[in-house]
Structure 1
């Protein structure tokens, strides 16, 4: 998966937990890259470190060694305020539990990330609203939406700022199969439209098979 001008580049990454004799190495020597427009499924057994790896790629955590570069910026060299700025400007995050702002309606939640990044685009938000099947729901609040609708808002929020990289952690994990498949179809279509790179953590072999590339994390190594 090595290409020039990679959106995400991970070099010789290592992460451990605990101290002294109780220290456990989750992984070490991990290297991979994802170019603009590539969609990669990250699979592995529960506890293998998939979510931790995704958090490192987002700059939500820092590695013990190695580096993570997003759009040419080395997160490993940045302090938290600077990493937060990269997340705001370059990365869209989609979580299993939606993480919508309960006090904001659909329209405000969807445009939230773009406004933080200083790139509000009413036309693009309107297109996302239509593509995601949210037209007519703009004034509803998260508690008034189904799980599938909430996840569609979360996907729209992640894409509204046109980020370079989308990181999704089990984005259909709380949905039934039909809703999950619909959300997955929308996510892949919109990511392809924007040309963003996508890394998606999933435990589902069926969903992983829908992405053209896969990384499998097992015993601290990628295959």
Structure 2
């Protein structure tokens, strides 16, 4: 599903380039879940953005289902994000002018794969059926994160990327949202790569990788 080989990434600094990733490698199989852990600034979100085609690596290769993302232009990376990859953000990133039903179907419509029955099933599993006509500002944080998960999975991505998916939720809401996300990812057969500071969340994944000094260390 995913093969990351010796990926490097630096950003400009006051005294020259600052290396964030120094040759990171990892693999992820279809249906597998993997947690990326590490201290703030260790490059976890940077790596997630590179895998999702939201940014480009300085060196190395990122191969997603046989396609090397490294040489692709913005348009081709955007196409892959629409068709193969789904992202769950910590900040939810819902569209405030759309109700819950429209937010859930948004990504799938962009990809041309919207399925009304699947959207309804997701809403039901996520406990959102009574809230489909509401707007994001009318929902709790946990409900908003459920909508974000529904939006991601509505397009049936092959790879789900989650950046601190429970970071803005209290422990009880976070545990419930995590359990639902893992159940639904397993049901769709997608692979899951998640960035987290939470050892509780990381312990629920099949494998864990620690990012340390710009390198990935198996845990």
Counterpart residue number, 1:222: 216
CA apart distance, 1:22 = 2.1
CA apart distance, 1:21 = 4.5
Q: 1:120 to 1:26 in 2, by over 3 A?
A: same
Across the aligned residues of Structure 1 and Structure 2, the Cα RMSD in angstroms comes to: 1.0
Alignment of 1:1-223 (within 5 A): 7-18=1-12, 21-223=15-217
CA apart distance, 1:212 = 1.5
Q: 1:20 to 1:123 in 2, by over 3 A?
A: same
Q: Give the count of matched residue pairs.
A: 217
CA apart distance, 1:173 = 0.5
Query: TM-score normalised to the size of structure 1?
Result: 0.95
User: C-alpha separation between the residues in 2 aligned to 1:105 and 1:35?
Assistant: 35
User: C-alpha separation between the residues in 2 aligned to 1:30 and 1:174?
Assistant: 28
User: C-alpha separation between the residues in 2 aligned to 1:145 and 1:188?
Assistant: 22
CA apart distance, 1:95 = 0.3
Gaps of 5+ in 2: none
CA apart distance, 1:70 = 1.6
Asked if structure 1 preserves the Cα contact closer than 8 Å seen for 2:4 and 2:27, the reply is yes
CA apart distance, 1:73 = 1.4
User: C-alpha separation between the residues in 2 aligned to 1:157 and 1:205?
Assistant: 26
Deviates more, 1:12-21 or 1:56-65: 12-21
CA apart distance, 1:186 = 0.4
User: C-alpha separation between the residues in 2 aligned to 1:11 and 1:129?
Assistant: 37
Please list the CA deviations of residues 178-216 of structure 1 after superposition, one character each: whole Å capped at 9, or x if unmatched.
000000000000000000010000001111111121111
